[in-house]
Structure 1
Amino acid sequence: MGQPVVHFEIIGKDPEKLRRYYGDLFGWTFDMRTPVSEAVSEPGNYGCVDHNTTSDGVGIPGGIGGGRDYEAHVIFYVGVPDVEAALQRAESLGGTRRMGPKKNPEGTLAVGHFTDPEGNLIAVAGPM
């Protein structure tokens, strides 16, 4: 079995407005207590989607964040055992590293971003 998609993010210059928009659109509520790397979002300006799965387990976790100095994008994260190794592999196959590995404030999770050969932004996440 391949590696699963484990998280999604919607990043923009006005994350509060984005959270209102997606909250109204899909009924999402947000937990603002989850700290993330400043490479991903301004501190205190990232909200994880609460109740992101149905009772039968359908759905993946996600979050909305960013800030004035962040480029707007939508991205998904693939869970990997080693973020650095995954980024190196992506590069060896024609991708371009864009960020990382960067760790979360607790130092328990690493993330990295790369673009595929067509320029699509993709992310990987795994243990530190």
Structure 2
Amino acid sequence: MGKPVAFSEVTSADAERAQKFYAELFDWKVDADPAMGGYALVDTGDGIGGGIGPAAAPGEAGVKIYMRVGDLDGYLDRAEGLGGKRLVPPTDLPGDFGRFAIFTDPDGNAVGLWA
């Protein structure tokens, strides 16, 4: 069985506007946390979590999916072997949310891994 999509993320130059837009459009519960720089966790109602937050730099706004995997380094190595590039090494998330990493596919699309 393949690895499931476990999380989706929208980043925006105007995160508050994006949070309101997606909450109203899809009836998602969006809970912004000032302690996380205004990043909001999203409850889509279907069991797949999400987040909407500020883009880290100009031009970095977009949509990203995260696959649930057991071995971040192993999947980053596989991605590189298939022509991808590491962007963010395995990194701890706050609280009990686990760890994540990000790579790009051969076309430059950013994809997240979550363990």
Q: TM-score, normalised by structure 2?
A: 0.86
Alignment of 1:14-29 (within 5 A): 14-29=14-29
C-alpha RMSD over aligned residues: 2.1
Distance 1:3 1:69, change over 3 A: same
SS in structure 1 at match of 2:21: helix
In structure 2, what is the equivalent of residue 93 of structure 1?
A: 82
- Alpha-carbon distance in 2 for matches of 1:81, 1:68: 26
SS in structure 1 at match of 2:73: helix
Distance 1:34 1:9, change over 3 A: farther
Distance 1:18 1:119, change over 3 A: same
Alignment coverage as a number of residue pairs: 114
Q: Which runs of 5+ in 1 are unaligned?
A: 36-42
- The answer to whether the aligner puts 1:45 opposite 2:26 as a matched pair is no
SS in structure 1 at match of 2:95: coil
- Alpha-carbon distance in 2 for matches of 1:15, 1:67: 8
In structure 2, what is the equivalent of residue 83 of structure 1?
A: 72
Q: Which runs of 5+ in 2 are unaligned?
A: none
TM-superposed CA distance for 1:47, in Å, is 1.0
TM-superposed CA distance for 1:31, in Å, is 2.1
Deviation per CA, 1:58-77: give whole Å up to 9, x if none.
Answer: 45211101256362010000
Letter in 2 for 1:44: G
* Stretch of structure 1 that moved more, 91-100 or 107-116: 107-116
TM-superposed CA distance for 1:88, in Å, is 1.2
Which structure has the highest helix share of the two? 2
In structure 2, what is the equivalent of residue 69 of structure 1?
A: 57
* Stretch of structure 1 that moved more, 99-108 or 18-27: 99-108
In structure 1, what is the equivalent of residue 11 of structure 2?
A: 11
Moved over 4 A (4+): none
Contact residue 99 and residue 113 of structure 1 kept, 8 A: yes
